[in-house]
Amino acid sequence: MINSPRVCIQVQSVYIESQSAPDDERYVFAYTITIRNLGRTPVQLLKRYWLITNGNGRETEVQGEGVVGVQPHIEPGGEYQYTSGAVIETPLGTMQGHYEMIDAQGDLFRISIPVFRLAVPTLIH
């Protein structure tokens, strides 16, 4: 499996105060991911892997088929966007991971998702 520059990942995360309970060490975050196909052939997202780290260094791994219940096909020049969520025990944490994808020729490749921050806004100065 190779890394590929054919796909671009953008991430935006937001704290969901209405679903969080800081007194119970429950901090809820939503993240929106945009996957852009910069290549010349269609690609399909097959699997996901996440490493979620809370502010105390506790790590949780999440992996599975597709994202939000689908394995999207993305046409050349197209994009797929979805929103999902994570719950951690601290007001600050990180996520990073990768997608396993396949191209029209049947070649598997991996797209890294660089580390991004999950943070309650009042913590960032």
Domain count, the chain: 1
State the pLDDT at residue 1: 46
Residue range(s) defining the domain that contains residue 34: 2-123
For the chain, which residues score pLDDT lower than 70?
1-5, 123-125
State the pTM of this model. Answer: 0.90
State the pLDDT at residue 36: 97
State the pLDDT at residue 118: 98
State the pLDDT at residue 6: 87
| N-term to C-term CA, the chain | 40
State the pLDDT at residue 66: 96
Report how far residue 95's alpha carbon sits from residue 118's, in angstroms, rounded to the nearest whole number.
Answer: 7
Domain holding 96: CATH number?
2.60.40.1470
Cβ pair 46, 65 in contact under 8 A: yes
Write the DSSP assignment of 60-120 as a string of letters. EEEEEESBTTB--EE-TT-EEEEEEEEEESSSEEEEEEEEEEEETTS-EEEEEEEEEEEE-
State the pLDDT at residue 125: 53
Cβ pair 96, 115 in contact under 8 A: yes
Fill in the amino acid letter for 50: W
- pLDDT of 81-111, one tens digit each? 999 999 999 999 999 999 999 999 999 999 9
State the pLDDT at residue 122: 81
State the pLDDT at residue 24: 98
Report how far residue 123's alpha carbon sits from residue 32's, in angstroms, rounded to the nearest whole number.
Answer: 21
